[in-house]
Amino acid sequence: MANNLMPVKSGNPGLNDRTFRGLPRPALESERMTLQGTINKSFLALIVLLAAALWPWSQFMQTGDPAVVAPGVMIGAIGGLILALIISFKATTAPYLVLPYAALEGLVLGGISAMLERRYPGIAMEATALTFGVLGALLLAYKARLIQATARFRSIVIGGTLAIALVYLVSMVLNLFHVSTPFLYDASPLSIGLSLVIVGFAAMNLVLDFDLIESGVAQGAPRYMEWYGAFGLLVTLVWLYMEILRLLSKVRQR
């Protein structure tokens, strides 16, 4: 039987308005997506990410040489992007690819965090604590219905997220032609203010992810979508952590 989900959206590329559209609704309740199952799989993916991050972290802390962790960061970034695209376009691969994706992202986060930790002691722990703090606060606010993913809220978050993606894309293209974009990377008040805005939009994407996962559970999506929901949350959390890390590094520079 076709699934008639209402069209909800997320600015997260892993979770969007097409995520549950047209999926079959399993006849057996045991074969349907559950909230607890999604939470468990999200937690497992985070454990894998953190475990993978320990390797480049320890390597850099022992040697202090960026060249030691650079290959792992590069492999993680490219491999993670490839797996993310596969999962996004083929949700049925999520049960097999989410944990490898988490491991690859761990290589990236571990390497980058270690290099910034050497420069700004304590920054990695601060970024981690703030990321999980934001996650917990937004989850509580969402469950208490203090924040709701209304149509207006979705349109603002999605529009802002797309604008941020466009700014980053343009910056990457300009860098290829040796044109710098200091407002994205320096420690000026403008740059710090921009980072605060980006962190805000990354955080608000969590609300859309919560809403979409809840909708999938309510409509009885197939159980493999638990892994897909975990993937979407992981994408947002990785983005949020990286933006908080960037913001903290700018503040430390001042």
CA distance 95 to 141: 29
Asked whether residue 134 is domain-assigned, the answer is yes
Asked whether residue 98 is domain-assigned, the answer is yes
Measured CA angle at 249 (ends 248, 250), to 5 deg = 90
Q: What is the pLDDT of residues 16-52, one digit of tens each?
A: 555 666 666 665 667 789 999 999 999 999 999 999 9
Asked whether residue 20 is domain-assigned, the answer is no
Asked whether residue 194 is domain-assigned, the answer is yes
**Residue range 89-95: mean pLDDT, rounded:** 92
Give the alpha-carbon dihedral of 106, 210, 231, 9, to 10 degrees.
-120
pTM (two decimals): 0.87
Look at residue 65 in the predicted model and tell me its pLDDT.
86
Indicate whether 84 pLDDT > 60.
yes
Asked whether residue 12 is domain-assigned, the answer is no
Please report which confidence band the pLDDT of residue 7 belongs to, taking 50, 70 and 90 as the band edges.
very low
Asked whether residue 5 is domain-assigned, the answer is no
* Those residues with Cβ within 8 angstroms of residue 97's Cβ, 6 or more apart along the chain or in another chain: 83, 86, 87
Look at residue 77 in the predicted model and tell me its pLDDT.
94
Determine the structural domain holding residue 97 and report its residue range.
Answer: 29-253
DSSP 80: H
Asked whether residue 8 is domain-assigned, the answer is no
**Residue range 163-190: mean pLDDT, rounded:** 87
Q: What is the pLDDT of residues 161-174, one digit of tens each?
A: 999 999 999 988 98
Q: What is the pLDDT of residues 232-243, one digit of tens each?
A: 999 999 999 999
Least confident of 24-28, 34-38, 189-193, 246-250: 24-28
Helix ranges, 90-188 (H): 94-119, 123-143, 151-176, 182-185
The domain total for the chain is 1
Please report which confidence band the pLDDT of residue 135 belongs to, taking 50, 70 and 90 as the band edges.
very high
Indicate whether 91 pLDDT > 80.
yes
Asked whether residue 7 is domain-assigned, the answer is no
DSSP symbols for 131-156:
HHHHHHHHHHHHHTTSS---HHHHHH
